[in-house]
Structure 1
Amino acid sequence: MVALGTIHDWRPKPGTVISWSASPRAREVAAQAPASAVPPSYQQAQHVRSYRDLARRDREMARLGIGSWDVPGVCDVDAMTAAINAHLRRHDTYHSWFEFDPADNIVRHVIDDPESIDFVPQDHGLQGPDEIRAHLLRTSGTPLSWDCFTFGVIQRADHFTVYISVDHLHTDGMSTGILYVEIQLMYASLVHGSALQLPPPAGYLDFSAREFAHNQAMTLDSFEVQTWARYARDNGGTLPDFALPLGDRSALNVGAMVAIPLLDAEETVAFEKACEQAGVRFSGGVFACTALIDRELTGADTFYGITPYDTRSSAEEQMSVGWYASFIPFVVDLADGSFATVARSAQKSFDECQPLAKVPFERVLELAGPDSGLTAPEYVVPMVSFLDARKIPVSAEWDRINGGIYGDSRSSDQVCMWVNRFENETNLTISFPDNAVARESVSRYFEVARVVYQRVAQSQFVS
């Protein structure tokens, strides 16, 4: 089972650290990269603006996707260097950097020649866990620098740990798996004397251009725009917030992340059967439980949820690194409290709202205008995500390779929830602002969540 947490939960054993970062010549070439007509994706634009606005107030934001895994033996530094550079040159999201022009527009710059991208190794000597974590954070660039990604290994007597750190500007959950597969396979091939030939991935710049064109074609009469607008109006004119208090979110709160088991292996099978009896998928059951938890906590008869959705569609996009993940809303009618009815409502709404993943709420606000009664949320919207980790191609490897995925937890004013199905259990992971009020609220949420999931597994709600 993959380890999930913040960087403070990552406790690598001491070892000799070698990290890879851009060479001076590569940075020079990147700085001279010409402006591109391709705009940032909506996700990238929102990320860059949030970073800039927070930095002006001397605030940080959680923004790094960090992964690690173990490899037997001694690292072949030349082979790892070649694998890292091949990966960076192969995926065009890494070829861009962004800046603001005098009119406050975000301009994309693109490196013309991917072969000019050159990451070089540097030996930092023996380091302990605290030093390693500090080193990783210190050497990761910002969303307004080109090289906001770094790589490293921690060498020990009989094995080494590979770590990667990529700003969210260029990555999402699926990208982490692609990173592992590519770097590991390319490294292994090079060590054995051959270069791995992979089919070309889709380009993230092409995705950004298509996304922009698609959204420019939207009108106030478009299904996606009308559905988003109705969802927000029914929720008071904006997107939802977490059901319980989170303390002073204007204060600087580092992020925390906690996971609890919801169902063991046998209970997970029972939960899936309850979903099948209701005529929904496992994900529909998860969204239904999220709504039922909310009703237990608030008494509301309608639940407004947000969930991430991977917009990759082609085989080439499935191999592409980039921020493809978007969000879609779903609405759950809780008037009939039976699990089956609630689950069918959740599944129907989720399925119908999938086209909204290609039209972000920010575009709806642009079209609706300032007098529409619709407003952007004050804080990042809480999301609930379901992941069936068994379906990830490398999922069976995670225990063997000591795999982990971590966030940097620099700052947090939001709640994110992940329901993860593994071979031996289903668990709930929540990230939240690390203050006393939020901790108490999340503890309460965990208590109710466990009860709701257990009831479904025992068919107490199934009609």
Structure 2
Amino acid sequence: MVVMARLSDHPTQGGQVVDWTPSQATLDAMAVAPPTGVIPSMMQAAHLALAKSKTREGYTDSSWLCVAFELPGQFDVDAWTRTINFWLGRHGGMRNWFTADGDSEDTPIERHELAPEDVTFAPTFHPDEVTAEGMLDHVRRQMDVWAVPLGRFGYTFTAVVGDEKTIIYFGADHSYTDGVSVLLSLWELSTIYDCERAGTTPELPEVGSYPDYCIEERERADGFTAESKGVQDWLYFFMRGGDLPRFPVDLGMLPGVKVPLVPVYQELLNAELDDGYEKAVKELGGTYAGGLYAACAMAAHEMAAATSYRCLNPVHSRWSDEWVAAMGWFINLVPLHVDIEPDDTFGSLARRTRQEFRDTKAAGDVPTLRVAEILSEYMDFDADSSDRPPIMSYLDGTMIPGHEKWLEQNSWGLTGAGDDDDVYVWMMRMPGSTYVTASCPDTPQAVHAVTSYFARVAEILQEVARTGGDVPMGPAAILQPPVA
């Protein structure tokens, strides 16, 4: 499986360090590349505005995503260099970068692009070997310098070469990628490397260029109005519950008071329980993913006396075949509101959650920023603010090509540090384990709330898996803060 964690928790190794960054010829081409006139996608635009606002307000935000995986045996530096350059030439979105002359709200953001033949990354060899701890420090510095949203190509490649294996790190600013794209990069890069070493041509699906998607998205967005079904779904969501949702259990945090985030991890289902859970939830009339959210709703009732469960759920926007394997940020948000009745069970909530997802499917077609434009009086969204609503994400990694090799490759998904006042949650179904990882404010009450909440979610799901049947919901209660 792919383990999601902080970079500082990655079990790396010592050895010789090699970095790949743009060649001098590519840097020279970037220096004179004019703006393309293609505006960012709506997710990119929000992200870039957020990056500028974080800089203005002095908050920490490592907005990069990184994958690490192992290549066994003797490392072929030349083959890996060819792999990188083949891969960058394949994906138009990776040959783009953004610039802005300052951090002001009014400073325009411009996109630049190079042709495939003008993009080459070259290796830099570091003469002194590093320890494992030194390697993590080196990767963090590389990410902080290169995997940035503005000013240059926002990604980098690094390797630490040992006697028996090499660990590869590929990190990119979020403007280049999403969770699916990061996992696809594992498959594509390792496939291309194998072919480069064997002297064969990799068989990969054809892909479109992400800037073309950005143009399509804006054209599609213009067609949505307040009467569109997806926009009406959002309006109904606000009518049912008012504000944008926050974490369901009290964190003891004042909105807007941001503190450093720490990771929280909880396994929900192991390999032995996964099949039993999937069979049980389907027999109860739910879906695999819907049951996860149903368990979250149950825990919210039992630990926060919640009468509804509300969250924002990312969904992919890869609406045509050319985007299925493309690198880019193909994400929209769908609002989920599940009413909770005192006599509910896991089964009734799983069925209700499934129906809610069906009823709001059209919301996934509408770019979230377009919704914010139309429903500005409800969403109260300021693109130039450092505030962002928290998400509750689910990703099924077993649907991604190459997932069969993740365990063998010891694959990891890695993130950096940041500040916030709420919790961001990713539920991941991976080969061998379904787990949740969350970024949580680093205060005693917040960490207690998040760890207790997801421990209860795990208990519910595991009971469903073990019994193969329904599970009653406990009485409404309020989780008490930890004793000082």
Question: Normalising to structure 1: TM-score of the pair?
Answer: 0.92
- Offset, 1:21: 0.6
- Offset, 1:348: 1.2
Q: Does the 8 Å contact 1:238/1:375 carry over to 2?
A: no
- 1:396-415 mapped onto 2 (5 Å cutoff): 396-415=404-423
SS, match of residue 196 in structure 2: helix
SS, match of residue 126 in structure 1: coil
143 and 275 in structure 1: CA distance in 2 versus 1, 3 angstrom threshold: same
* Distance in 1 of aligned mates of 2:64 and 2:400: 21
Q: 2:151 aligns with which of 145, 150, 161?
A: 145
- Offset, 1:250: 5.1
* 1:368 counterpart = 2:375: yes
> In the comparison of the two structures, how many residue pairs are matched?
461
The code of the aligned residue for 2:293 comes to F
- Offset, 1:241: 4.2
* 1:130 counterpart = 2:136: no
- C-alpha RMSD of the superposition: 2.4
13 and 421 in structure 1: CA distance in 2 versus 1, 3 angstrom threshold: same
Q: 1:433 aligns with which of 411, 433, 441?
A: 441
Q: Which residue of 1 aligns with 2:480?
A: none
Q: Does the 8 Å contact 1:229/1:364 carry over to 2?
A: no
Q: Does the 8 Å contact 1:66/1:405 carry over to 2?
A: yes
Q: Which residue of 2 aligns with 1:339?
A: 346
Q: Does the 8 Å contact 1:278/1:462 carry over to 2?
A: no
Q: 1:119 aligns with which of 121, 138, 145?
A: 121
Give per-residue Cα distances to partners, 1:310-357, cap 9 Å, x unaligned.
111333212101111222111112125122221111111112322222
Give per-residue Cα distances to partners, 1:39-64, cap 9 Å, x unaligned.
11111111111111111122221311
Q: Does the 8 Å contact 1:228/1:361 carry over to 2?
A: no
290 and 368 in structure 1: CA distance in 2 versus 1, 3 angstrom threshold: same
* 1:298 counterpart = 2:300: no
Q: Does the 8 Å contact 2:344/2:472 carry over to 1?
A: no
* Distance in 2 of aligned mates of 1:96 and 1:178: 19
- Offset, 1:170: 0.3
* Distance in 1 of aligned mates of 2:285 and 2:70: 41
- 1:30-179 mapped onto 2 (5 Å cutoff): 30-100=30-100, 104=106, 106-124=108-126, 125-140=128-143, 141=146, 142-179=148-185
265 and 103 in structure 1: CA distance in 2 versus 1, 3 angstrom threshold: closer
SS, match of residue 224 in structure 2: coil
Q: Does the 8 Å contact 1:35/1:107 carry over to 2?
A: no
Q: Does the 8 Å contact 1:239/1:376 carry over to 2?
A: no
- Offset, 1:275: 1.3
- Offset, 1:91: 0.8
- Offset, 1:405: 0.7
* Distance in 1 of aligned mates of 2:41 and 2:203: 29
The code of the aligned residue for 2:347 comes to A
* Distance in 2 of aligned mates of 1:147 and 1:266: 43
* Distance in 1 of aligned mates of 2:149 and 2:426: 25
Q: Which residue of 2 aligns with 1:228?
A: 234
Q: Does the 8 Å contact 1:242/1:382 carry over to 2?
A: no
310 and 365 in structure 1: CA distance in 2 versus 1, 3 angstrom threshold: closer
Q: Percent identity?
A: 27
- 1:222-301 mapped onto 2 (5 Å cutoff): 222-245=228-251, 247=253, 253-301=259-307
- Offset, 1:126: 0.9
The farther-off stretch of 144-153 and 270-279 is: 270-279
- Offset, 1:248: 5.8
78 and 449 in structure 1: CA distance in 2 versus 1, 3 angstrom threshold: same
The code of the aligned residue for 2:38 comes to V
* Distance in 2 of aligned mates of 1:449 and 1:373: 31
Q: Does the 8 Å contact 1:338/1:462 carry over to 2?
A: yes
208 and 246 in structure 1: CA distance in 2 versus 1, 3 angstrom threshold: farther
- Offset, 1:448: 2.1
Gaps of 5+ in 2: 474-484
SS, match of residue 419 in structure 2: coil
Question: Normalising to structure 2: TM-score of the pair?
Answer: 0.88
32 and 435 in structure 1: CA distance in 2 versus 1, 3 angstrom threshold: farther
* Distance in 1 of aligned mates of 2:451 and 2:113: 47
* Distance in 2 of aligned mates of 1:248 and 1:131: 37
The code of the aligned residue for 1:347 comes to R
Q: Does the 8 Å contact 1:384/1:418 carry over to 2?
A: yes
Q: Does the 8 Å contact 2:334/2:360 carry over to 1?
A: yes
Q: 2:322 aligns with which of 313, 316, 331?
A: 316
Q: Does the 8 Å contact 1:272/1:282 carry over to 2?
A: yes
- Offset, 1:187: 1.4
Give per-residue Cα distances to partners, 1:228-270, cap 9 Å, x unaligned.
1221232224344443215467566333223222334443333
The farther-off stretch of 287-296 and 46-55 is: 287-296
* Distance in 2 of aligned mates of 1:343 and 1:147: 43
- Offset, 1:189: 1.3
* Distance in 1 of aligned mates of 2:195 and 2:449: 49
SS, match of residue 328 in structure 2: coil
* Distance in 2 of aligned mates of 1:12 and 1:420: 22
Q: Does the 8 Å contact 1:98/1:106 carry over to 2?
A: no
Q: 2:452 aligns with which of 417, 432, 444?
A: 444
* 1:419 counterpart = 2:427: yes
- Any runs of at least 4 consecutive aligned residues in structure 1 with deviations exceeding 6 A, and if so which? none
- Offset, 1:163: 1.0
- Offset, 1:309: 0.8
Give per-residue Cα distances to partners, 1:165-203, cap 9 Å, x unaligned.
111110111111221122111111111223435443111
Gaps of 5+ in 1: none
